[in-house]
Structure 1
Amino acid sequence: MSTAFATEPLRIVAVSAGLSRPSSTRLLAERLAGAARERLTAEQDRAVEVRMIDLRDLAVDIANHLVTGFPPSTLDEAIKEVTEADGLIAVSPVFTASYSGLFKSFFDLIDNTALTGKPVVIAATGGTARHSLVLEHAMRPLFAYLRATVVPTSVYAASEDWGSSGDEYTDGLPSRIRRAGGELATMITGGRAASGASRVLGLDDEVVPFEQQLADLRLD
């Protein structure tokens, strides 16, 4: 391993689709990023950089890119930071029982192979716990399509979750944030070695055409 690689900062990018200021969506993104950075700093002799991306500030650029096909420089830089991050945190408010249109529009602009294997924490905020399944029926499938690796713990924060310590059946919001951040940190440090090994072994290039797979089944 080269010295440059060993000393290169780990980069976490947190994308928030919150529209208001102050925003509980932005706050949840910050706390998740802080939990991941805390775990990485404790376990790795590496600097950790966190970049927050507020989609609210890029809304007009996103709309223009969808219409023209040409991203303004600020949006292009945000997309580059997301695709080159070691770990990604994606947080959306719930609108009409799903992620927001702004959130979806931003990730529509990212090539569907650009996040392949990237560790991702998905999270959402809403006024009521009834919308918590948005994480599983909307956000997890979205990032599965983008070929990202979503950590097991997703985090939903309803209004009543802020300041709550949970109960005997459900962990409080701080516990869920720490667990999700820890899983992201573990996946970031493990993911680097795994991806490097696959490149050495040439596993990324080993693609079997679907027709051949069918033919092999018929031979059996």
Structure 2
Amino acid sequence: MADVLKPSSLIKRSFLYRIHEKAGGVFIEENGFAVPSNYGQSVREEITLAHQMGIADLSHVSRTGFKGWHAASWLEKKNCKFGLESNFSYLQSTGERILRLSPNEFAIVGKIVNDRDFITELNSSLHPETDEGVFIVPRSDTNCWLKVMGVNAPSMLAKVCAVDLRPQIFPDGAIAQTNIARLNCIVTRHDVGLATTYDILTDCASADYFWQALLDAMDEFSGGPVGVTAVYQLAGVG
């Protein structure tokens, strides 16, 4: 029998690893992080759950941000591609996404399965002494990343968010900077496979509260946590 990975054996862990342990999470190592592969169910069962009402923790996936009056031109010089429209997510040829939050602020999230090179290189290429008007926003350190999935996700989110996130109103790629369960959040519609999906970035210091608030909201829809293995298969990368 293979040894069971203990999150405490790795330096890098999700902000929510204690909650995942209590929920029966079975951990694997990804990008040096201990992440829940599943919660004691088969991959097929968790994929079925994700299509109906599921939540996954992607806080191990790289992310960053940049802001400032020269942020847009600096990113363009780094071969980042995005349009003029704010509150929209722009998919890059390498699989990462650039979230344009305003004319002068951007969040960048990595691929679900990624080698971190794109975001690592962006972060390391910023030189404050010469790159005037560009400032890094360390979102890997300040934001947790949760993925809410399923046909019941819009109805669940309507209980805790005043913005209309129904698919017919909130298209794939759209961004809302709003409150969910009284926390400031960045919500991006980014469907995974055939599952309606919302990526949510919020304050890591409130991760425990936020996770539980969403689980409470999805209880009437028989929702629950989904491990990364099911998410990978939904995305076609597992």
Does TM-score exceed 0.5, indicating one fold? Answer: no
Normalized per residue, the structure richer in helix is: 1
State which structure, 1 or 2, has the greater radius of gyration over its C-alpha atoms: 1
Bigger fraction of residues in strand:
2
TM-score normalised according to structure 2 size: 0.28
